[in-house]
Amino acid sequence: MSVSAPVKNLGASPALEICGLAKRFGGLPATKDVSLAVMAGERRLIIGPNGAGKTTLFNLVTGDIKADAGSVKLFGRELLGLPTQRRVQLGLARTYQILTLFAGESLIHNVVLSLLGRHRARLDPWRPLASRRQLYDAALAALEGVGLAGSSGRRVAETSYGERRRLELAMALAQRPRVLLLDEPLAGLSQEERRTVGDLMQKIAREITIVMIEHDMDTALGLAERITVLHHGEVVVEGTRAEVVADPRTKEVYLGD
Amino acid sequence: MQFWIIQTLNSVALGGLLFLLSSGFSLIFGLMRIPNLAHGAFFMLGAYLAATLLSQQVNFWVAALGSGLGVGVLGVAMERLVLRRLAGNEQGQVLVTLGVSFIIADMCLLVWSGDPIPVPAPAALRRPLLLFGFAFPPYRLVVLGVALAVAFTLYLVMERTRLGAMIRAGVDDMEMARGVGIPVTRLFTIVFLLGAALAGAGGCLGGPILNAYPGLDADMLPLALIVVILGGAGSLLGALLGSFIVGFIYNFGIALVPDLAYFVLFLPMVLVLVFMPNGLFGRMPQ
Amino acid sequence: MTRRIFIATLVAAMLLLPVVIRNDYYVNLATQILIAALLAQSLNVLLGQGGMVSLGHAAYLGIAGYGCVLLTLSSFNQLTSAVGAVLLGTTAAALFGVLALRASGLGFLMITLALGQIVWGVAYRWNDLTGGDNGIRYPARPSPFGIDLAGAGRFYYFTLVIWALATYAIFRLSRSAFGASLRGTRDQPRRMRMLGHNVWLIRWFAFVLSGFWASIASLLDVYYNLFISPHALSLQQSAEMLLMAILGGANTLAGPVVGAALITLVKNVVSTYVDRWNSLLGVLFVGVVVFMPHGLVPGATALMERLRRSAVRAKFLSGADAAGATK
């Protein structure tokens, strides 16, 4: 069953607008005609059982996979057809379900690499990186924002899983994105770590629109304003938190099958 | 006209030889993700072994089997003793095949010395066939025939046997294949044996056309690489078509513009890389 | 402290070598080591920092080398020929980079190998241009600022200066923003893209720089040997360079230099007794990859660290014993 998203027309273009997005892998349709619109500053939660196509959706938006049909617009700017780094330059950022950090490097170096991504001098082969104090100061500030400033010199391999998740968040926020995609940011965290990261996410400024995939309902529901439920690659239910929770189809999606 | 006949037959013969060489390479690469850089050396060793066997009055076709077997055994030894120790380290595996290729080449130089050694074709096939007023070198036709027969056999094995199904599964998705219980380690050994044996037998068959000489390995390896780049890894059809394309281009290149033969070979590879990075049929592993 | 002394001794040794060792054979050996080191270092920009294994590196060595010789023989002066040669080599690298980077990992390796072999094949067969297997002689070493470089000692210093400048540039590269980005693409290319980096451009740039330094090294090689032949372009040459980088330790800056020194010494010593250098090269390749994949330099530093720690422990224990014994 497919439901088209009720878009609130505030006269402003949505931060992220997906129309008719589709992707097949061989014979299998992973994403079928998905349309949704996330307004600026919104906190959108995407849920659905395993295999519903949530991460595939993210991968299509970031350009990790090529879409078969449809369109993805970032503040009105079409993203499909652009290489991933171009989409990032336009203001997209993303964290991954499976951590892909620079394990052999220090925490601060990881953030510096993140900052370099949009830095003028990232191809400079001469000037020592360490001499760019502003870069390191900004990196330290980003680490401070997630409570890791004290461990800035430690190598990622020497940190706990919870600290690594926070590092990833710091790296994404350091990019000053306009739209931030969080792919299961709470996965594998302990109860306490979940609270810490959850608090951090609550504090993220409204300039950043957040779209999040999460299984942990307790924390995620606290953050979400609107929820999109995916199943078999299609949008099944969409609405405010209250609407989706009350909708019988939501239960069907999780209990049926 | 005679010139064109000879050159065409040379080309298809070379194509056939290249198929014997690169089908094994393509299988090994497709399944094990190892570009076996010793493959040219396998071919050369096959040619040398054939020369020695033939000098002992062994029947040509028996010599071909012998060369194939000999090189096959060497291939298995390399796979079990060295490559297996580096399982998971693809880069390392490639580099050791390079090292082994140097050892094989140098050992051949030690045993057979530096002069080219002729590998005589079977006596019955040495005299040209006279048809329609033109002379056809029969040996080259036979090489083509053997290559096509091998291609057909490989096709049957791949499509109709359990072994073939397992190989195809492994080429498509190694993780999945392992997951459904395919004995991957044994499969690797079998494929390596097959690939090396094909190269060795190919060396014997190529002997009468190319001779056995030091440097044969360095001449053949890039041709095999180009075939696989053109035809895609793990694809028999790609290896077949790629082999004949390369055979024609290389052969006519040598005949018409000898100084620039390699350059002429360069062009299609560049075109394919630019427009079809996955080769004509298969996948270029990323 | 010991590290500073070590480096100072090394620098002094390099500077004073021709003065202390008056034997031309050894001075020339040192020159060969420096040239080989620069080649291995140029390759390591791709390998160690970029994580890209190229088996066609000797191609630039050959293109720049042949370029230098042919330009000089066409009556261009030596400086112009040198500049032209480096331009040719670097342009070739730029072009080959575009082709090779259509793939990554193993595909990349195969394409670089095929390209290298094709260039070798052209050098080998295009007799009119390259003289084929016979090679071409280079008339004489250059005389920068009028200084005659025919002597072993003088040429050694010339090579040393160029090597030191190149090493310094590569050192700065590794410490720069580009170096960090390059290593980032080596470790996590997908993440780097998601951070906004143009991974293709970073890799291609590394390819070009690598080709540039290889071209410089090839000039030194031509000036040293006064000769060039297709052997300079061979797969064996590419493999030797790769082995030098890996043997010493691809993840370090000093690794390729150590590897170059070892391989050059072994090659020279072995070749005087026996003809089986190629087999030895093959065996070394297999041995290093299987038993010492990280190379000697990291292995040696780890060993020194272990020795230092056990020395400290021994000192502590003997102190405790003495204290115990007095009771």
C-alpha–C-alpha distance, residues B224 and B204, integer Å: 17
Q: Which CATH number fits domain B2-275: 1.20.272, 3.40.1620, 3.10.20, 1.10.3470?
A: 1.10.3470
Report residue C254 as tokens.
Answer: 């000093």
CA distances from B263 to B132, C112, C118 (A): 36, 15, 7
Can you give the pLDDT at residue C152?
85
C-alpha–C-alpha distance, residues A186 and A197, integer Å: 7
CA distances from B227 to A175, B219, C38 (A): 45, 13, 34
The one-character DSSP state at B210 is: H
Report residue A178 as tokens.
Answer: 């306009």
Do C276 and B270 lie within an 8 Å CB cutoff? no
CA distances from B13 to A210, A241, B19, B245 (A): 63, 72, 10, 12
pLDDT tens track for A69-105? 999 999 999 999 999 999 999 999 999 988 889 998 9
Q: Per-residue pLDDT averaged across C156-184, rounded?
A: 95
**Domain A1-91+177-257 belongs to what architecture?**
3-Layer(aba) Sandwich (3.40)
The one-character DSSP state at C48 is: I
Can you give the pLDDT at residue A73?
94
Nearest to C225 by CA among C10, C12, C9, C32: C32
Q: Which residue, chain included where needed, has tokens 């080596």?
A: C186
Any B CB within 8 A of C114 CB: yes
C-alpha–C-alpha distance, residues B201 and B24, integer Å: 11
Residue C117, CA atoms < 13 Å, CB-side half-sphere: 25
The dihedral of CA A79, A81, A86, A92: what is its sign?
positive
CA A72 to chain centre: 15
Can you give the pLDDT at residue B8?
87
Question: Does the pLDDT at position B246 exceed 80?
Answer: yes
**Predicted TM-score (pTM) of this structure:** 0.86
pLDDT tens track for C35-74? 999 999 999 999 999 989 898 999 888 899 999 999 988 8
Nearest to B91 by CA among C291, C236, C255, C109: C109
Question: Residue A7: which region, alpha, beta or left (left: phi > 0; alpha: psi -120 to 50)?
Answer: beta
pLDDT tens track for A100-125? 899 989 999 999 999 999 898 899 99
Can you give the pLDDT at residue A28?
82
C-alpha–C-alpha distance, residues B56 and B119, integer Å: 12
Question: Does the pLDDT at position A255 exceed 70?
Answer: no
What chains are in contact with C, requiring at least 3 Cβ pairs below 8 Å?
A: A, B
The pLDDT mean for chain B works out to 87
C-alpha–C-alpha distance, residues A5 and C144, integer Å: 75
Residue B109, CA atoms < 13 Å, CB-side half-sphere: 16
Question: Does the pLDDT at position C235 exceed 60?
Answer: yes
Can you give the pLDDT at residue C323?
53
Chain C residues inside the 8 Å CB shell of A96: 191, 194
Strands A43-47 and A226-231: parallel
pLDDT tens track for C36-45? 999 999 999 9
Do A116 and C205 lie within an 8 Å CB cutoff? no
Nearest to B267 by CA among B253, B286, B285, B283: B253
What chains are in contact with B, requiring at least 3 Cβ pairs below 8 Å?
A: C
Do B260 and C290 lie within an 8 Å CB cutoff? no
Residue A23: helix, strand or coil by DSSP?
strand
ipTM over 0.90: no
CA distances from A171 to A132, A145, A154, B130 (A): 18, 11, 15, 77
Alpha-carbon Rg of chain C, whole angstroms? Answer: 22
Of C179, C188, C197, the CB nearest to A85: C197
Sequence ranges of the domains in chain B:
2-275
CA distances from B94 to A108, B24, B89, B203 (A): 36, 16, 9, 22
Do A175 and C178 lie within an 8 Å CB cutoff? no
Who has greater pLDDT, C318 or C153? C153
Sequence ranges of the domains in chain C:
17-236
The one-character DSSP state at A154 is: S
